[in-house]
Amino acid sequence: MEVEGSCHCGQVTYRATVDPDKASLCHCTDCQTLSGSAYRVSIPAPSETFQILTGIPRIYVKTADSGNKRAHAFCPNCAAPVDAADVTDPQTFSLRVGCLRQRALLAPRRQIWCGSALPWSGDLGGLPATERQ
């Protein structure tokens, strides 16, 4: 599936090819902190299909407890996250689904790092809901 994405301000735009069956929701504490939310939804894009169209993302390198390094790309203007990839040899780019135009078609197919999930994050169906703020 072809996808197109952009940061919030539109400075960084990109496109890639993804497999919708590989979308996942991550509950790890890094994803919580880096997204400013309870979890992050991502989808891998093979490096040969990922192309930045406009702008130059800024890179933050995070070293995991394991020692692995991940390059997190984000817009230097609005700070919206774009992707994460291996620092030395990125075979795939983990695209942030919230920045993709086709996000409604990319429902997560699995959850990972569930041991770090916030206790309330899995049961939101009982909350009052409105269509707009």
Chain-centre distance for alpha carbon 55 = 18
Task: Delineate the domains of the chain, giving CATH numbers in brackets.
Answer: 2-116 (2.170.150.70)
**Distance, CA of 99 to CA of 110 (rounded, Å):** 19
CB 30 within 8 A of CB 46: no
Q: What is the pLDDT of residues 114-123, one digit of tens each?
A: 999 999 988 8
Q: What is the pLDDT of residues 83-110, one digit of tens each?
A: 999 998 899 999 999 999 999 999 999 9
What pTM did the predictor assign?
A: 0.89
Mean pLDDT of 10-34: 95
Helix residue ranges, H only, the chain: 29-35
Chain-centre distance for alpha carbon 101 = 13
Q: For 15, phi and psi rounded to 5 degrees? A: -145, 160
